[in-house]
Structure 1
Amino acid sequence: MHHSAGCMIPFLQMIEYRSSRNIAISLFKRFKNAVERGGGDNLKEFISAGVNAYALGCTDEGLRKELNDMREYGVEIEAMQSYGGTTSLKSKIILEEVDECILWLSIIFITVLCTPQPTIVRWSSTPPVSDNMRFLWKGFCAVIANAYFVRGMAWLPVKTLQLEQMAVVGRAEKPSIVASRMRLVFTTLEVVSPHWPKA
């Protein structure tokens, strides 16, 4: 009896390991798709996958580790299929891409935490975001969430958000980057807590 019980644990760990790796791959593919092809739908696909990862109890650092492990092993990831074509481009994972992908993911997780009522149930008591990420981005996401929920806004002046960054980090990102981060937050809010009925 002892023997079979012993076998059970690694098996469960293996399932856990496989699923978090699959989530990481799926997120990374959608991230690359959103970066390379742009567009609202590609961004929403990434956000939906991110919200799903949040609900399943993933953490930003856990998924970072998965992607970095694959990067170190030289794992190649196939690009998302483009419609009609059967081109499968494989590419190695690059450190900068991992960092940016996880930053986007952290911003999504923090945005979910900024919604007034728990819109997404999380199947884990582990905090989704590292303390450092929360410190860096909580104010940024909160300012946008406040504009969205309290004032029904879907855009803010980039300057306002740069000032928030200056206050927290001591420097601000370029306007175009700040604008894309803002879009990420507003789109996440639209996905998890739609304000206006679709016409």
Structure 2
Amino acid sequence: MDIKKSGVKIEGLQSYGGTSLSFKVRSFEVKECILWLSIVFITILCTPQPTVIRWSTTPPVSADVLHQWKGFCALIANAYYTKGMAWLPVKTLQLEQMAVTGSSEEPSLVASRMQLVFSTLEVVSPQWPRV
């Protein structure tokens, strides 16, 4: 089923009132969710082998998405593994986006995506002891 084109309605309950409400899943929201999940998978692809072993023979993301985001995730993974960094300048990542796609996202969105990549790396292969 193609959720993007189906116009699926999701039923939900309000937090406190219990009143039923429904809303339509927007195509943009679905695409954005898939993109965020794709970034997690690409981040895992950037980890040293054999940190995570994939059992599937199919690629985790499309070739287009991989091309668009691999450099972004690889820059962060390189900083994490080789330099022990937990943060990169947003401008550096925006320049990577500009080089690949010809445009860059808002700094706050780039920072959120960077945080997702660093958080994924921290879970997959922790570099520092937990406090």
Q: Same fold (TM over 0.5)?
A: yes
Alignment counterpart, residue 26 of structure 2, candidates 75, 78, 94: 94
Higher helix residue share: 1
Distance 1:169 1:91 in 2: 33
The one-letter amino acid paired with 1:155 is W
Q: TM-score when scaled to structure 1?
A: 0.59
The ranges of structure 1 where at least 4 consecutive aligned residues each deviate by more than 6 angstroms after the TM superposition are none
Question: 3-state SS of the aligned residue for 1:120?
Answer: coil
Alignment counterpart, residue 135 of structure 1, candidates 51, 56, 67: 67
Query: 2:124 matched to 1:192?
Result: yes
Alignment counterpart, residue 97 of structure 2, candidates 160, 165, 176: 165
Question: 3-state SS of the aligned residue for 1:91?
Answer: strand
Query: 2:8 matched to 1:75?
Result: yes
> Where does the alignment leave 5 or more consecutive residues of structure 2 unmatched?
none
Mapping 1:1-199, distance limit 5 Å: 66=1, 69-78=2-11, 87=18, 90-199=22-131
Distance 2:91 2:98 in 1: 10
Question: 3-state SS of the aligned residue for 2:60?
Answer: coil
Distance 1:89 1:196 in 2: 44
Deviation per residue, 1:96-123 (Å, 9 max, x gap): 1011001101111100000012323322
Distance 2:126 2:14 in 1: 29
Question: 3-state SS of the aligned residue for 1:105?
Answer: helix
> Where does the alignment leave 5 or more consecutive residues of structure 1 unmatched?
1-65
Distance 2:130 2:22 in 1: 38
User: Residues 130 and 70 (structure 1 numbering): CA distance in 2 closer, same or farther, change over 3 Å?
Assistant: closer
Cα contact 1:111–1:142 (8 A) shared by 2:
yes
Q: TM-score when scaled to structure 2?
A: 0.86
User: Residues 73 and 188 (structure 1 numbering): CA distance in 2 closer, same or farther, change over 3 Å?
Assistant: same
User: Residues 123 and 78 (structure 1 numbering): CA distance in 2 closer, same or farther, change over 3 Å?
Assistant: farther
Please report how far the alpha carbon of residue 194 of structure 1 lies from its aligned counterpart in structure 2 after TM superposition: 1.4
Question: 3-state SS of the aligned residue for 1:77?
Answer: strand
Distance 1:135 1:93 in 2: 27
Equivalent position of 1:26 in the other structure: none
Distance 2:105 2:3 in 1: 29
User: Residues 144 and 80 (structure 1 numbering): CA distance in 2 closer, same or farther, change over 3 Å?
Assistant: farther
Distance 2:8 2:116 in 1: 28
The alignment's C-alpha RMSD in Å is 2.2
